[in-house]
Amino acid sequence: MTATTRDDTPVAIEGGGVELRMTEVGGDMTAAFVRFPKGTDMSDAVKGLPDDMCQCPHWGYLFSGRLKMRTPSGDEIYEAGQAFYWPAGHVPEALEDCEYLDFSPTKEFTEVIDHVKAAMG
């Protein structure tokens, strides 16, 4: 078994109020602690991935804020206190300052994060 806290998890992406901390938590899963300030739209960061969307599934919990998830079948809104599953094919936009924890397959998540880092320069 593996456990971690937000403070013990290494920062993978930081800038403009966005913070992503991630660590592998056993097997082939990665835990990510994410903070998005209001107005964060990840469209440009995932441009160039298939369908210009994140292609990694995520399971998690939204601690605070409201988040719009654009998907091929339409937008969905998530609010603080909700557990979620986001299948492959989505783009997040923070409607309010957001903080959440998600768990994702390491291989797929690393591919997306590497792409986002390159897009951010």
Q: What is the pTM of this model?
A: 0.93
- Which class does domain 11-120 fall in? mainly beta
Domain spans of the chain, in order of start: 11-120
* H or E segment and range at residue 31: strand 29-36
CA–CA separation, 74 vs 15, rounded Å? 28
Q: What is the pLDDT of residue 92?
A: 97
How many residues comprise the chain? 121
CA–CA separation, 22 vs 86, rounded Å? 17
Q: What is the pLDDT of residue 65?
A: 98
Partners of 68 in beta bridges? 77, 93
CA–CA separation, 4 vs 121, rounded Å? 28
pLDDT digits (tens, 9 = 90+) for 60-106: 999 999 999 999 999 999 999 999 999 999 999 999 999 999 999 99
